[in-house]
Amino acid sequence: MKAVILAAWEWSRLRPFTDTTPKPLIKIFWKPIIEYTLDSLSQYVDEFIIVVKYKQSLFRNLYKDKYKDVKITYIEQWEEKWTWAAIKNLNIKWDFLILNWDSIFDDKDLLRLYKLDWYGCLVKKVTNPERYWIFKLNKKDEVVAIVEKPENYVWDLASLWVYKVNDKIITYLNEVSPSKRWEIEITDSLNLFIKNFSFRLKKIKWEFIDISYPWDILGANYYFLNTIINSAFEWIVEENVKIKWIVKLAKWAILKSWTYIEWNVCIWENTIVWPNVYIRWNTVIWDNCKIWNACEIKNSSIWDNTNVAHLSYIWDSVIWNNVNVWGWFISANLRHDNKNIQIPIKWILTQSWLRKFWCIIGDNAKLWINTSTYPWRIIETWAFTMPSEIIK
């Protein structure tokens, strides 16, 4: 069986991180999002067909033509923008899987769909079906249709965009007519498939991690940090360092004197933490970073080659690669009215459902000394600030 992975989109909801990194290659804990799917299915499929477009050279350079002895074929999606555009030209026979790269599934849930006798989809029960693609069932609990973001209640089982189908879905994609928005709708082709084949829904039983917005990275870190145990190797810890609860230290991590670390923290390879630093709760610091004297970091993700200078406070934030934060950086993470944080995504204020959120900093940003920000501010890729600048 083959697995088709849709990885062509830029996914602007994750800007500024996707300015430089396609979403499937964003590293969640220790590996890119797409590798969770590749690892789960590599024992069961004979070929991965990855649909690419945005920064596709990064995929080709990283994975070449094979992943764990499973062949990889790349299909370019250039002209048409609709979601399954590239699939209509595939030359696949018999059964295959179609998966989005948005999410991280448990191996066991993907295997349940793979072993399904007929065809179907992974689903979850939702409380706000108007935001999802919802499957409609009849009185016998048989699937009769899929409806895109229904205005009126039809059911509460949402598609998680992992399907087992056969080559007839390709035929249907070429048969349906464009909709009013001049797209070949996924729902139209799937409804033809559901009408002609036995189609089952499999509710997920294990963890499902959806990475749609920058703050979802912190939620993913929380899940993985709660699954690790204390571990370290070839690390250097000087005198008077205090480590409490679960801390994972990777190769050549260095902790200088009087550092205090507690409650689910991961510090990765070749990162140096200088004296009197306090790192706590749900923090991941990746490769080759430097955290200088007397900083405090909480509930944050700091990516490769980033420098955080002395007396800076990083709380509830996501900081990308190659960022230079000069001394005395500080930002507010809580609104005066104590309401949930709303963050501008694609120029629209989006509800994060978070009471505390600090800032998002893109690749290669440079923050000069004594920069400060209001809550939920986005600092763009290659941005720089002036000394004592306030980002409102």
Cα–Cα distance measured from residue 359 to residue 12, given in angstroms and rounded to the nearest whole number: 17
Written as six digits, the tokens of 58 are 């990064």
Cα torsion angle, 161, 163, 167, 168, sign: negative
Which of 78, 32, 35, 72 minimizes the C-alpha distance to 53? 78
Which of 92, 84, 89, 23 minimizes the C-alpha distance to 54? 23
Report yes or no: 126 and 156 within 8 Å, Cβ to Cβ.
yes
Residue 243 φ then ψ, to 5°: -125, 125
Q: Helical H runs in the chain? A: 33-41, 56-63, 107-114, 168-175, 186-196, 216-225
Report yes or no: 70 and 46 within 8 Å, Cβ to Cβ.
yes
Written as six digits, the tokens of 59 are 């995929």
Strand, coil or helix: what is 220?
helix
Q: List Cβ neighbours of 43 (8 Å cut-off, separation of 6 or more).
A: none
Cα–Cα distance measured from residue 4 to residue 47, given in angstroms and rounded to the nearest whole number: 9
Written as six digits, the tokens of 104 are 């991280």
Q: List Cβ neighbours of 140 (8 Å cut-off, separation of 6 or more).
A: none
Specify the DSSP class assigned to residue 68.
Answer: T
**Residue in the block written with tokens 């989809």:** 121
Cα 66 → chain centroid: 23
Residue tagged active-site, from 15, 53, 202, 310: 310
Strand, coil or helix: what is 366?
strand
Indicate if 336 belongs to the active site: no
Written as six digits, the tokens of 311 are 């007396």
Q: Which residues are annotated as catalytic?
A: 310
